[in-house]
Amino acid sequence: MKTVRRPLLLGLYPEELTLLVACLFLDFVEYLLPPLLAPHVGDVLDFIGLVFAVLAFSWLGFITLLELIPGFDVIPFFTITWFAWYMMRERRLETELEEELERWR
């Protein structure tokens, strides 16, 4: 038997909200810290963010590889990756629900 979970905030489940906050934090740190620190710190943060994105979003996390290109740091790739993951996840869940409903008919 499965339990029914309710969305917490903005219609997002806890794991979705946690990943969104982590992505927003990575994008925020990307904007704030590197100008204040040495140039290589930004590259280290990009690499750490890339590893996080690949672990969290699987193959879709490779979108954040664009963070390593100089000058592309102004685009919030972590948040864009989360949004793409969320949309694909919602489509997959909707398809699974439709298939389950078809089995019940």
Our count of domains for the chain comes to 1
Q: Residue 27's domain spans which residues?
A: 14-104
Residues of the chain below pLDDT 70: 1-9, 34-39
At 79 the pLDDT is 95
Cα(41)–Cα(79) distance, integer angstroms: 20
Dihedral of alpha carbons 67, 63, 48, 89, sign: positive
At 55 the pLDDT is 95
Going from the C-alpha of 68 to that of each of 12, 33, 48, 61, 84, the distances in angstroms are: 30, 16, 11, 13, 19
Q: Judge if pTM exceeds 0.75.
A: yes
The reply to whether 70 falls in a domain is yes
DSSP-derived 3-state class of residue 12:
strand
